[in-house]
Structure 1
Amino acid sequence: MTPAIRELSSSLKSQLQSQIDVVSLTSAIDELIQNSVDADAKHISVVFDPQALAVDITDDGCGMTPEDLALVGSPHRTSKIQSVDDLVNLVSKCADYNGTWIRRLPGRPTFLSDDDTIETLDKREVVPFHPDSHGTTILIRGLLYTLPVRQKLIKEKPLFRTLNNLREGILRILIAHPQIALHMHFINAKRELEKFLITEPQITPTSIDTYANILRSLYDEVVPKNSLKSLNLRYNEYSINGVISRVPVRTSDLQFITLNGRRYVNQSFSREINLLFRDSQFEPPNNTATYVGRPYRYYPLFILEITCPPNLNDMIQTPSKDINEATYKDIIHPLILKLLKSFLAIEGYTSDQRPAKENTLFPSASLSPSADPSQNLLSNIILSSKIRSSKVSLSEIHGRSNTNHQKKIMKGECAPKSIHTPLFEKSTNRNIAKPFTQKSRSGELLKTGTPSLTTGECNHEYVDNPVEININKAEFSNAIVINQIDNKFILVKIPSKEQEGVANLFILDQHACDERVILEDIQLQFLTQISKKLLSLQPTVGMTSTISNSETHLFEYYKDELNAWGVNFEINKTAEDKTINTTLSITTLPDLILQKYGSHVEFLKGAILQHLDDLQHSRKQQLSLLLKSNIHSKKLDDTTQRTNWPNYINCIPTLFMEIFNSKACRSAIKFGTPLFKTECELLISRLRLCQQPFQCAHGRPSILPFMTIAHPLASNLHQPYTVKETSWGGRACFATHDMPKGSVVLKSDDFTGALIQYEFRKEVCHYCYRYSEGKTLKIKITIDDVLDLMTDKNTWLSTNSKRFRGAGLWFCSNDCKHTYLGEPGVIDLIEIYEILLDNYSKMMKRHNPDDDNQKLLNSVDISKDIINAQWKKTQEWMVQIDKLKNTKKIFQLPVISEDEYTCCRFVAETLYRINSYDAGCDTLKSFWGLQSNELSKLEEFPILLHFQQLVFKTLYILLPDYMQSFFSIDIFRHIMGSEYGNAFGIWQEGESVDNREFFGYRVVPRASYFNHSCIPNLTKRRDGTTIRGANF
């Protein structure tokens, strides 16, 4: 008997609900501080213990009356709002407006009175305060005590992450309420009380001194105070106030935007901002360190307070009260970008490195310095004019006219000083896909072209249809060197995988190729020295620099990691005038770092901080952890294993990589150096062993497709045989002419249907059939992929999109997935797969394996009459089904097993493909001409007749209407009958015949005549999705 349904207890409901509101120590502290702010507190004191997950907070707020104390924490009770309008217009954006946060706090909260005697209150009761004192003290012990796993995860969280998260939340509160004095301490690992931050009340809100003091209290002197510039902008009901630093920082974590007092966290917009500054080459003006390219990242530090009309959607987006997508982002984003572009222009940072004129940048704006001329502050940008649009106008935001220089560009009188348009996209990771020229059999150049240097597309006047080419490392291993060209390039020939008798010509940059070879040799040698601890280190003298508290915690946490790279240091703290100054002293450095950057202490500190920033944001892996783990079966110091060391490449700090890149560039073969053919062959043979052979050390492409050449006999190889009836039964192929050994008789990548066995559905790629050696493939179709393909919003798939399961499709790579999704109309097939998967999951609950055995016992002798009679009964069943409503039909579904389920998918794919091919194409002609082996197969295995019935009935009920129109018993019987004896098995590659796995089968109509032969004189091979037959 099933248990009765009952309501959860109040305590359990509170514990479960609390996991939505408070998920960490930092969110609990943030909420407690907001609660104190909401009580109009002017002084707040916080002590927290990251290891014990305990918090003590005391404030001098207004407290509450005895009547209100009895209601504190009760569900949906608050003093702030009575309607939705109150919520939108709520002045205190920190308020716990739903009135349930304290009640749902997942710890043991205790309210204390502000007198000399402190006692725990077992129940809510009023303890009188001293008449002259008021406020609240809350003590929390055992946060998340009901969730020990989450407690463990929080305790294992690095201290610097906890403190950084706290800083972000506190910064928002202090910006909105600068009048608050906040004192925070924490219990460190030594169980000592350590100061976290102390802020004093700020008198003038939104002033540069206020922002500077808040930043200093949270992050110390991360940038000099005199480097901050004021930012002010007004546009209609929108205003932006804040500061920005003229000195860049090495992390993007010091960028803060608040929207009506709430934190605005929009990752895509943050990337757009940082890209703007990167393109403008926003770097330290006094940097004297030299390096090639732009390997180091610099970010702006800024605080922006945005005020705009309040909107309910912005108020209730997340439990943390953050805003991820602003309602008025179409206005706010352009305003912010306009303001930041103005700052860059005034500071001399522009994309074409031209000094911008203040009076032309904002035609309708007024730029005026602040009261302090030495700051050269940007302020009071007013994007308004006497002529006002009746609605929000982007042209008004962006300015109503162009600069003189922009006008000249539009007229064609001049061009920008520098235009960065890459010859290739940034997809040089072992694959290239670009237009190239073709050569006919007679040697004439066909009308194709090469990429344009300005657009990346073929735009020559003789270009008709560009041809796409793809090359990978495996194909590159077959490259044949022809010769050197112009003492700069190497011409190679690579046989085409797609067309027999065809080869593609490629041009390789000899300098880039040698640079890549040298770079990977340097990396291998360096990593070997690191693993064997043979790296040469030198002591340093006088390499000291001041670091902030946040930087101190970073250095302390990643000390072992930096030591692994030969960077050893000491952190010293000294007290001076009630302040603690922290100094970083670098004691040893590797020779190559000391030689290049020994005299650039601040730059070196910044480069190390960049690596630490990469580590905390998982852009780099930790070498110290990787060396301790057993992830890789081979040792890093085993130099004979060139396939193992690349796993550690992503661990190398940018500081080292930049030096390696420069070293490889200087040592590589230069342009203009003549090479013998044997030297070219040696270089290409070494390039084949590289992990990234198609790009140089700096990421630029090293190979370019040139043209295609074809063998004179290539066009005659497509129809070397004819199909004839034989006296011994069936049809067979006969050669139309003598062919040399190795000739390709047929190459076919078109098919009508495929089946992957249920047990291998997650281990075999559904596009190229690559096997993952028993491991579950990671790449599936997502609902976002499906929504991008959908044009009709009234389909079953759109209605049930929220429970999309991936249609039972797994892929070995994103390339396979995207190629699969690129097939015309494939969304129809995905929908059918998803319908089958959804209903099969429900059927599994009703399926009884004993039924399968019963079917075998019920097998009888089969004849043609019995088969036809059975299908006649099915026709009668169809008539009855058609009378039912769709909601009733679903209850007539037969219970099927995994074999019948996979066969349903096979038939569905066949229906989809025969409907997508052109009616007169060779594939369909071959398919409809395939011989049906239904009778012979059913005579041998009578149970298959019942099997077919289950598959047909399942599809007849579940297929969408647009598929029902061409689904009939005759078509179904031909699909099943032609599959028996004509399908090609999908077998595991690289294994012997006896040991290989059978993954499924595929029907390739044009190749079916070669499926069986008693005396074969040709080989059959599957290359991914292609069947290839070659003469012995």
Structure 2
Amino acid sequence: MSIRQLPDEVVKKLQSSASITSLRHVAIELLKNSLDAGATKVNITVDYARGNCTVEDNGQGIPPGDFKENGGLGRSHCTSKYPPDETIYGRHGDFLSSLATLSLLLVSSKHKQHEFCNSILLHQSRLISRYLPAPTEHHVHAFDWGTRVVARDLFGSMPVRVKQRGSMSNDPTFASKEWSQLIDDVVAVLLSWHGTISLFLKDAASGREIHLKQDNTTELSLRAPRLLSQAFIVDQALSGTWIPLSASSGDISVEGCVSTEPVASRSAQFLSIGIWPVSNIHGTNILYEEINKIFSNSNFGVVEDSSSKVRKGVERWPAFYFQVQIRHSLDTESIQQILDNRTDKLKHILDAIKAVCYGFLKKHHYQPKKIQLRDREAAARKRPRLTAESRCRSTSLSQRQSPFDGWQRIKVGHATALRSKTVSPHVFAETLRPRKERWVDADGQLLRQPFDDPDVDHRPTPEPSPAPVSFRARNSPSRTAVDHATSCSASLAKRSKPEPTPWLKGLLSTWTNPVFATVPSAIPRTYNDDAIGDRTGTGFTQFAHDTDDCGIMFESGSLSLSGSISKAALEQAEVISQVDRKFILVKLTLETKSRDSSSSLVMIDQHAADERYKLEELLATYFHHDAHGDLTVTTEPLDSPIHFEVGHLEGELLQRFRHHFRTWGIDLEVRNDGGKKDESVIQVTSLPPSILERCRLEPRLLINLIRTEAWNLAETRQAPLPPSRASEGSTHPWAVYMSRCPRGILEMLHSRACRSAIMFNDALTIDECRALVRRVARCAYPFQCAHGRPSMAPLLDMGMGQNAGGSLAAEQVGMDLKEWTED
């Protein structure tokens, strides 16, 4: 079958589905159309279950001529906003035609200078009906003039999207996520818009609604926090903490405002280039990353408490809005090119924003780290390096070579001029005395690389001058001076250091360096590295047993194992001994693909192994099976409930995720204090027994746990799935669900397991070592500690020793190991 072009309707559907991705996107684009029409009032209604969106505004309206047969309404690449202007969004004329391809689209409008309302109905890019004038049910009801756009059954012609829409509509988490994201997108558009606007947003299915008002007559530092508090993104109490900021460089200017109080979520961060909002929905935008990096490298959000450890609390993120202006016309394509770094504008924008943020932190004494501006970095890369060779060419006398000539980045300093004087041969000979060269000169200039001690005797001898000269630099001596220095250097080399006194010998033998500890002696070895040739099979072609150091080596044997370590082998392991009261040395069987048995020596970290067992013991008691066989969290009521106060916005957030906390054993109640309108009181009544005592003694940990988890859920827009029925026959049913547990609970369990586990320097008998190995072998994850680090490491493949020429048997190795550990 030959290659043929797709039908026109299929091409339109593919193009439209690529440009329109969700109902939220439809609402935002229709809002931009309303703003382009000069609307000051906009009503938006969405219905996620049915895929409907209605936008009604009081803009100028559409002239009646565009509704006629020769009009361009609803047709591809027809727009009234050409040529494009950087103060409006519309310019391509393809959105309404794409929307008509994917939905049943009704457009009704009454122009401000005309008497009648007109409408047009489109479905799958085909005209269904045209009304001039429109019937009463199509009129714009909320305003005297304006436009009303109704999109019904979005993606109705795509069965897969219809099925997905039905499944998502039954999920309350999805609806809540989409609603919150829609509010954020609307706020981003209103913040970047230059006019006054009043907006009403409603969810038809849940009945949720919100009113937003943007007044362009006030300063940015006043209207930005006001709009964010109206959208319940930040608390109203932060309204007086916003500081205006501005900067300009070349054709780029930045204006914005930042709150001096940190917030608990990155949802209060907005940025736009011109009137085009820059989204950070996935948290990977470079502009947002650089801003947050500067704030995280400062004391912004640091909590002051009694402990000496510097830490940041739940509120650690900056709340800000920045608007970048570029002095030329912008559109969506050029914005995307800037963000993709396909132009040179991105680095200039980053430098301007970083400079503004750094100045803000510096002025408010948050001790930010110094920043490297990309413009200066690029200038440093373009700056020509001055090497030692070029310095030699530029001076009449030979100068010493800089040790930093091979470095990639350098700062070129000026060489210090030496005073002119005549140097006698005796004085020059003294300069060749073996000694360590200095790191810096008298002016503080580096003379050589740190930790690089060149040998004076191996330096090249300077070339003699053909005629007597006046010695202005000690690197240019005459022939006489060289001859004299050569004769003196032989006698200098023969000199020996004087013997230290007995008191100094005793001091050096007993003194311990408090900074750099003495390097411990090498671990005894089973074979000599020099005697090892190439490998064949599972052993070595040559093998030498070093009997001088007890015949034991742990360095190279672990590089290659002929099999793998399993939980079953660990349970049958043979305990040899405790090593240094820190590790347990065991011998176990390796699982191999062949039938040949092989064994290995493994060192187990006694603290990590017991920590893993204690953690899984706590996790196993965290759940229990109810009467229906479902896995349920065990909870215990508190004798005295724990109370704490939060802001009104955070109280609503905790009320929203109350069921999530109850699923993981934290029962809390949210109530509003009648005397304090802007605050909510949180009362915790029951907790899981594994964390109850710690939370009762340190309520601050519980408060931070609850607040951090709530803000994380609000930022990710999706709650982890709760525990459900466990799989039949599972020995560790908790393992499937604890990965979805709140991070704060896991950290408490890890801390409790770590503190109650066997520590280093705890002496264990051989029976206690065996019991510990058996316990950790029954764990779900025996090979890592509670913090994810390895709990054991293989040292030697006994099969290697057996196949390496037969000079060393496994029993002999085990006997030698026992002798070594006993010593």
**Normalised-by-shorter TM-score class:** 0.5 to 0.7
Larger Rg: 2
Q: Match of 1:660?
A: 749
SS at match of 1:525: helix
Alignment partners' CA distance in 2, 1:146 and 1:337: 47
Closer/same/farther in 2, CA of residues 444 and 305 from structure 1, 3 Å limit:
farther
Alignment partners' CA distance in 2, 1:478 and 1:235: 71
Aligned mate of 2:582, from 488, 498, 511: 488
Q: CA offset at residue 81 of structure 1?
A: 3.3
Q: Match of 1:111?
A: 108
The residue identity in structure 2 corresponding to 1:285 is V
Bigger Cα displacement from structure 2, 286-295 vs 652-661: 286-295
Whether 1:184 aligns to 2:279 is no
CA contact (8 A) 1:291 1:658 kept: no
Q: Match of 1:677?
A: 766
Alignment partners' CA distance in 2, 1:437 and 1:107: 80
Aligned mate of 1:165, from 176, 181, 201: 181
SS at match of 2:24: helix
CA contact (8 A) 1:507 1:705 kept: yes
Q: Match of 1:63?
A: 61
**Unmatched 5+ residue regions in structure 1?**
350-354, 365-382, 414-434, 448-457, 635-640, 719-738, 741-1032
The residue identity in structure 2 corresponding to 1:509 is D
The correspondence of residues 66-105 of structure 1 with structure 2, limited to 5 A, is: 66-69=64-67, 70-82=71-83, 86=84, 90-93=86-89, 97-98=93-94, 100-101=97-98, 103-104=100-101
The correspondence of residues 754-903 of structure 1 with structure 2, limited to 5 A, is: none
The correspondence of residues 247-646 of structure 1 with structure 2, limited to 5 A, is: 247-260=261-274, 261-265=276-280, 267-269=283-285, 273=290, 283-286=301-304, 299-308=317-326, 315=333, 327-328=343-344, 329=346, 332=349, 355=367, 361=370, 439-440=527-528, 441-444=543-546, 467=559, 473-474=566-567, 476=570, 479-494=573-588, 505-528=601-624, 531-532=631-632, 534-538=634-638, 541=641, 543=643, 545-546=645-646, 552=652, 555-556=655-656, 558-570=657-669, 583=680, 585-590=682-687, 592-593=691-692, 594-598=695-699, 603-610=704-711, 612-613=713-714, 616-617=717-718, 620-623=720-723, 626-627=724-725, 632-634=727-729, 641-646=730-735
Q: CA offset at residue 674 of structure 1?
A: 0.7
Q: Match of 1:879?
A: none
Closer/same/farther in 2, CA of residues 348 and 73 from structure 1, 3 Å limit:
same
The residue identity in structure 1 corresponding to 2:150 is L
Q: CA offset at residue 186 of structure 1?
A: 1.5
1:230-257 Cα shifts (integer Å, max 9, x gaps): 5544444444443444544444444434
1:271-302 Cα shifts (integer Å, max 9, x gaps): 95567766768645257899999997954444
Aligned mate of 1:136, from 147, 166, 182: 147
Q: CA offset at residue 28 of structure 1?
A: 1.4
Q: CA offset at residue 519 of structure 1?
A: 0.7
The correspondence of residues 943-958 of structure 1 with structure 2, limited to 5 A, is: none
The residue identity in structure 2 corresponding to 1:198 is L
The residue identity in structure 2 corresponding to 1:306 is V
Alignment partners' CA distance in 2, 1:446 and 1:340: 64
Whether 1:125 aligns to 2:132 is yes
CA contact (8 A) 2:253 2:352 kept: no
Alignment partners' CA distance in 2, 1:706 and 1:581: 62
Q: Match of 2:780?
A: 691
Closer/same/farther in 2, CA of residues 534 and 337 from structure 1, 3 Å limit:
same
Alignment partners' CA distance in 2, 1:394 and 1:67: 66
CA contact (8 A) 2:251 2:326 kept: yes
Q: CA offset at residue 550 of structure 1?
A: 8.8
Alignment partners' CA distance in 1, 2:384 and 2:702: 46
The residue identity in structure 2 corresponding to 1:107 is L
Aligned mate of 1:34, from 32, 35, 56: 32
The residue identity in structure 1 corresponding to 2:230 is S
Whether 1:202 aligns to 2:297 is no
CA contact (8 A) 2:49 2:166 kept: no
Alignment partners' CA distance in 1, 2:247 and 2:524: 51
SS at match of 2:635: coil
Q: CA offset at residue 101 of structure 1?
A: 4.8
Alignment partners' CA distance in 2, 1:393 and 1:258: 34
Closer/same/farther in 2, CA of residues 702 and 219 from structure 1, 3 Å limit:
same
Closer/same/farther in 2, CA of residues 204 and 613 from structure 1, 3 Å limit:
closer
Identity %: 18
Alignment partners' CA distance in 1, 2:169 and 2:338: 25
CA contact (8 A) 1:569 1:584 kept: no
Alignment partners' CA distance in 2, 1:153 and 1:485: 58
CA contact (8 A) 1:476 1:494 kept: yes
SS at match of 2:42: strand
The residue identity in structure 1 corresponding to 2:106 is P
Closer/same/farther in 2, CA of residues 25 and 501 from structure 1, 3 Å limit:
closer
Alignment partners' CA distance in 1, 2:606 and 2:63: 82
How many residue pairs get aligned? The number is 623
**Unmatched 5+ residue regions in structure 2?**
121-128, 386-408, 413-443, 452-522, 529-542, 811-823
Alignment partners' CA distance in 1, 2:313 and 2:547: 42
CA contact (8 A) 2:75 2:94 kept: no
Alignment partners' CA distance in 2, 1:312 and 1:571: 47
CA contact (8 A) 1:491 1:505 kept: yes
CA contact (8 A) 1:15 1:106 kept: no
SS at match of 1:61: coil
Aligned mate of 1:242, from 224, 244, 256: 256
1:582-618 Cα shifts (integer Å, max 9, x gaps): 8464452316355145467853541331563587457
1:839-864 Cα shifts (integer Å, max 9, x gaps): xxxxxxxxxxxxxxxxxxxxxxxxxx
Alignment partners' CA distance in 2, 1:576 and 1:14: 60
SS at match of 1:27: helix
The residue identity in structure 1 corresponding to 2:608 is A
The residue identity in structure 1 corresponding to 2:76 is P
The correspondence of residues 209-228 of structure 1 with structure 2, limited to 5 A, is: 209-222=222-235, 224-228=238-242
Closer/same/farther in 2, CA of residues 279 and 90 from structure 1, 3 Å limit:
closer
Normalized against structure 2, the TM-score is what?
A: 0.62
Alignment partners' CA distance in 2, 1:554 and 1:702: 38
CA contact (8 A) 1:541 1:587 kept: yes
CA contact (8 A) 1:93 1:262 kept: no
Provide the alpha-carbon RMSD of the alignment.
5.4
The residue identity in structure 1 corresponding to 2:223 is T
Closer/same/farther in 2, CA of residues 61 and 341 from structure 1, 3 Å limit:
same
CA contact (8 A) 1:315 1:323 kept: no
Bigger Cα displacement from structure 2, 235-244 vs 339-348: 339-348
SS at match of 1:199: strand
Q: CA offset at residue 173 of structure 1?
A: 1.0
SS at match of 1:123: strand
